[in-house]
Amino acid sequence: MPVEAVPLREALGRVLAEDVVSHDDVPGFDNSAMDGFALRASDTAAATEAAPATLTVIGESRAGTPYAARLEGGQAVRISTGAMVPAGSDAVLRVEDADEAAGTVSTTRPVTPGLEIRRAAEDIAAGEVVLPAGTRIGPAELGVAASTGAAGLSCARPPRVAIVVTGDELVEPGAPLRPGEIRNTNGYAVPAQVAGAGGNILSVETVGDDYGETVDTLRRALAADVVVTTGGVSVGAHDHVKPALAELGVEEVFWGVALRPGHPTWFGTTGPVLVFGLPGNPVSAMVTFHLFVRPALARMLGNQAADRRATATIDADYPKRPGRAHVVRCTLAVGPDGWHVRPTKEQGSHVLTSMLNADALAYLEVERGDVSAGETVEVEIL
């Protein structure tokens, strides 16, 4: 994707196109970790209960307003957390450990050199790459970018994604259902997945099972970088997505995946535009979005997505015939022997609530047969 400058406050969720290099040390100067008194540790070396070390308080170093002069032997400077440590001092006596009197401060215990001082560059050294290109900006990345002084970031332009949901039977939430009609759930879950994957939702359209209308709707959608359709991509008499895409010049790359849920998944391209024909069943649409569309969007954004695969012990029997890979929605728990997973509930591709509380997906290979509780499975932690 092309690169664009993004003001810092708008960069949450965006992907860096260039490394963020800090021009400054962070912190930029030695500063106090505590409210207290900056002093020379050697002045307190002999301090005891009976003979406290007493120093003259000569001024103050506040956060943002350093003490201007140099501190000499026998002197102390009142200091706030984060304030610059005055030249000539090498430690901070915490206010809780100090006895204050008019113009003086005393301690009954020696202060060790370097105590309560946060060193310059302890967080970031000038010239360091703090955020490499490909990083997705979360709250911590935003804060770190601000700490380097960056007012904006070079980010990949999010791919524009058009979503086309198909089906005569679909009714929006809020409108009454007539016999045989169902709620349009893909029109909500899939755009949310697009947003979560860093895509820019260009449009969400619903089209009935009519060939001409499907062609018209898909023609509009092809103005996007990525088109995601749901439903109408199987072999039924009212499935118009494939022939409509063919008429629009979208070339099929694949149709049909040895996968459950998600068998009828279709993928094609026209020029640079990627078209994903996801199955209509709500779980199939969400799972195939996760497996196919999300990685494609990440790749377009240059996002260095972390590998979240692991192995886990499955804690329930799972009947399976060889021939398709299964994606099982699971809850995740940690035991003394590592990760454990358990199917959330009944795994039908129409049971959308099986996606609730799914902390992990278990991937059962094509050739695998019945899985027994206690066996090891490959999982992706969500």
Summarize as ranges the residues that interact with ligand AMP (CB under 6 A): 165-167, 169-170, 182, 184-187, 230-232, 234, 236, 279-282
Using the minimum distance from each CB to Mg ion, give the nearer residue, 164 or 332.
164
Residue 343 lies near Mg ion (rule: CB under 5 A): no
Using the minimum distance from each CB to ligand AMP, give the nearer residue, 86 or 231.
231
Which range of residues in 165-173, 194-202, 304-312, 339-347 is near Mg ion by CB under 5 A?
Answer: 165-173
Using the minimum distance from each CB to ligand AMP, give the nearer residue, 98 or 241.
241
186 binds, among ligand AMP, Mg ion, none (CB under 5 to 8 A by kind): ligand AMP
Bridge partner residues of 26 (DSSP): 124
CB 232 within 8 A of CB 284: no
For residue 327, the minimal CB distance to ligand AMP (Å) is: 17
Using the minimum distance from each CB to ligand AMP, give the nearer residue, 98 or 259.
259
For residue 191, the minimal CB distance to ligand AMP (Å) is: 11
- First-to-last C-alpha distance (Å) of the chain: 26
Q: How far is CA 151 from CA 16, 142, 186, in A?
A: 14, 10, 38
Q: How many CB atoms lie within 10 A of CB 298?
A: 18
Residue 231 lies near Mg ion (rule: CB under 5 A): yes
332 binds, among Mg ion, ligand AMP, none (CB under 5 to 8 A by kind): none
Q: How far is CA 342 from CA 264, 290, 325, in A?
A: 26, 20, 17
Using the minimum distance from each CB to ligand AMP, give the nearer residue, 24 or 205.
205
110 binds, among Mg ion, ligand AMP, none (CB under 5 to 8 A by kind): none
Buried b or exposed e, range 143-180, using 16+ CB within 10 angstroms:
ebbeebebeebbbbbbbbbbbbbbbeebeeeeeeeeee
279 binds, among Mg ion, ligand AMP, none (CB under 5 to 8 A by kind): ligand AMP
Q: How far is CA 67 from CA 114, 153, 189, 274, in A?
A: 18, 35, 58, 61
- C-alpha torsion sign, points 100, 101, 104, 109: negative
Q: Are strands 226-230 and 129-131 parallel, antiparallel or unpaired?
A: unpaired
What are φ and ψ of residue 347, in 5° steps? Answer: -100, 15
Query: Which of 188, 191, 217, 190 is CA-nearest to residue 205?
Result: 217
For residue 362, the minimal CB distance to ligand AMP (Å) is: 23
For residue 242, the minimal CB distance to Mg ion (Å) is: 12
Using the minimum distance from each CB to Mg ion, give the nearer residue, 78 or 240.
240
**Nearest residue to ligand AMP on Cβ basis:** 280
For residue 270, the minimal CB distance to ligand AMP (Å) is: 22
Using the minimum distance from each CB to Mg ion, give the nearer residue, 115 or 275.
275
Alpha-carbon distance of 46 to 62, in angstroms, equals 28
For residue 239, the minimal CB distance to Mg ion (Å) is: 6
185 binds, among Mg ion, ligand AMP, none (CB under 5 to 8 A by kind): ligand AMP
Using the minimum distance from each CB to ligand AMP, give the nearer residue, 122 or 172.
172
- C-alpha torsion sign, points 308, 310, 314, 317: positive
Using the minimum distance from each CB to Mg ion, give the nearer residue, 167 or 191.
167
- The length of the chain, given as a count of residues: 382
234 binds, among Mg ion, ligand AMP, none (CB under 5 to 8 A by kind): ligand AMP
DSSP, res 45? T
Alpha-carbon distance of 372 to 287, in angstroms, equals 23
For residue 26, the minimal CB distance to Mg ion (Å) is: 55
Alpha-carbon distance of 174 to 78, in angstroms, equals 64
Bridge partner residues of 109 (DSSP): none
Residue 167 lies near Mg ion (rule: CB under 5 A): yes
187 binds, among Mg ion, ligand AMP, none (CB under 5 to 8 A by kind): ligand AMP
- Footprint on this chain of Mg ion (rule: CB under 5 A): 167, 231-232, 280
